[in-house]
């Protein structure tokens, strides 16, 4: 069981990832949401400097700058923290029109919100796609998440306000919650407070796909 690390360790890890995969954001496809641009727009509209946003989130200015400049992508937990610090919703950072009381997202219309990279050769650790785009005033954020196996299980865990629900659609997923860990198979699900330090990844040498529903606590 790996030791639980503080958010600063996650910050350091992501900074290293960004340095070693600097072309990741620049090669994003046309169907990928540019979250970094939205974060900068919200920060500037609120009159905040990078240092002020860093103070509110606990992330370094270097890391936040890398996110805004598309050099690295924010994991879901980090996106929630940034949204709360900006007094915004995750859906606002994702962007898109939100004027309806309901939302239908066709398979062909799903857009990748973020590709979270690994250090090894710039590979992708996981991607997540928004499933709730278009619903006005939503309190939950559903995502389709594609998880890749990790060579090193000793990874930093993240925590943030809110709650999370995960349902395994395919593959096997290892879940770390504080000092507890378990493996979920297809059809299994888990619901937890996201203030608990947590991390998930594919157990097998293959991709795992999960439905993740996040409530950011606002």
- Mean pLDDT, residues 110-135 taken together: 73
What is the CATH architecture of 7-215?
Sandwich (2.60)
Helix (H/G/I), strand (E/B), else coil: 82: helix
- Mean pLDDT, residues 120-138 taken together: 76
What's the CA gap between 65 and 215, in Å, rounded?
A: 26
What's the CA gap between 186 and 171, in Å, rounded?
A: 6
Q: Outline where the chain has alpha helix (H).
A: 7-20, 35-45, 50-57, 61-68, 76-85, 90-94
What's the CA gap between 86 and 191, in Å, rounded?
A: 26
| DSSP symbol at 135 | B
- Mean pLDDT, residues 145-157 taken together: 78
Q: Please give the share of the chain, as a percent, with pLDDT higher than 70.
A: 78
Tokens, residue 60: 């370094």
Please tell me which residue, 126 or 156, carries the higher pLDDT value: 126
pLDDT digits (tens, 9 = 90+) for 181-207: 999 999 999 999 999 999 999 999 899
pLDDT at 187: 98
pLDDT digits (tens, 9 = 90+) for 78-88: 899 999 999 98
* In contact, 72 and 27? CB cutoff 8 Å: no
What is the value of pTM for the model shown? 0.77
């Amino acid at each position: 069981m790996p030791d639980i690390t503080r958010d600063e360790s996650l910050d350091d890890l992501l900074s290293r990832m960004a340095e070693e995969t600097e072309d990741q954001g620049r090669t994003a496809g046309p169907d990928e949401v540019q979250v970094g641009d939205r974060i900068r727009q919200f920060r500037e509209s609120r009159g905040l400097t990078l240092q002020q946003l860093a103070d509110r989130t606990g992330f370094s200015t270097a890391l936040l700058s890398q996110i805004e400049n598309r050099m690295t992508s924010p994991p879901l937990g980090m996106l929630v923290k940034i949204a709360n610090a900006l007094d915004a919703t995750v859906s606002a950072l994702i962007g898109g029109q939100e004027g309806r009381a309901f939302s239908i997202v066709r398979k062909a219309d799903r857009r990748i919100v973020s590709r979270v990279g690994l250090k090894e050769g710039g590979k992708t650790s996981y991607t997540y796609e928004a499933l709730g785009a278009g619903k006005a005033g939503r309190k939950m954020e559903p995502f389709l998440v594609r998880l890749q196996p990790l060579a090193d299980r000793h990874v930093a865990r993240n925590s943030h306000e809110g709650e999370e629900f995960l349902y395994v659609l395919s593959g096997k997923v290892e879940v770390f919650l504080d000092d507890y860990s378990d493996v979920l198979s297809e059809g299994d699900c888990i619901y937890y407070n996201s203030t608990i330090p947590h991390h998930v990844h594919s157990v097998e040498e293959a991709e795992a796909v999960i439905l993740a529903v996040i409530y950011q606590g606002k």
